[in-house]
Amino acid sequence: MHWLIAEDETDIRNLVVMMTQVWGHTPMPFETGQKAWDWLDEVESGAYSGELPGFALMDIRMPGKRGYEISQRMRTIDTLKNIPIILMTAFVMTEDEMEGIRKKHGVDRVINKPLPDFDQLKKTIDDVIAGKKNDDVPAGKKNDDVPAGKKNDDVPAGKKNDDVIAGKKNG
């Protein structure tokens, strides 16, 4: 899987790129938010013909565009709107502030820097990716039965697939 990584701190970006490769994925690194934004221009215009990322890990505050701006834009692009997105921040944020960013900008998780140890970081990323896949499973189907990229239109906002399968679709 390709991972979009947008981080302006060279040491952190290089570390995450290295870990991405160790974990068997292909990094797509951007050193500024503006460069990631420019790449989105290419995706939207059809000029980009490479593989698209299946996951994004971005810094919240970078030169040019901020991670949450990139996230919000990604949610408007059909080919990227359902990928899992994690934002990283070095700033202390309350849980309410993190929740606000998640809801307003379509982010799946916000994590703090310094980043957790590698095992915990991998678990966090794997959990977010798995959770996003489960959100994309149509009612009555198991995750393995659904082609990648399939979106669950039967699950109302705020509900989990398990609630719909269990007959709790309304309310």
Instruction: Find all residues with CB under 8 Å of 34, minimum gap 6, and list them.
Output: 62, 63, 64, 65
Range of the domain at 52: 2-135
Q: Identify the residue whose tokens are 């050193």.
A: 31
Number of domains in the chain: 2
Q: Which amino acid is at 41?
A: D
User: Residues 13, 82: one domain?
Assistant: yes
Q: pTM, whole model, 2 decimals?
A: 0.76
Cβ atoms 101, 87 nearer than 8 A: yes
User: Residues 162, 91: one domain?
Assistant: no
- pLDDT mean by block of 10 residues, the chain; 171 residues: 96 95 97 97 96 96 93 95 94 84 89 90 95 64 40 38 37 39
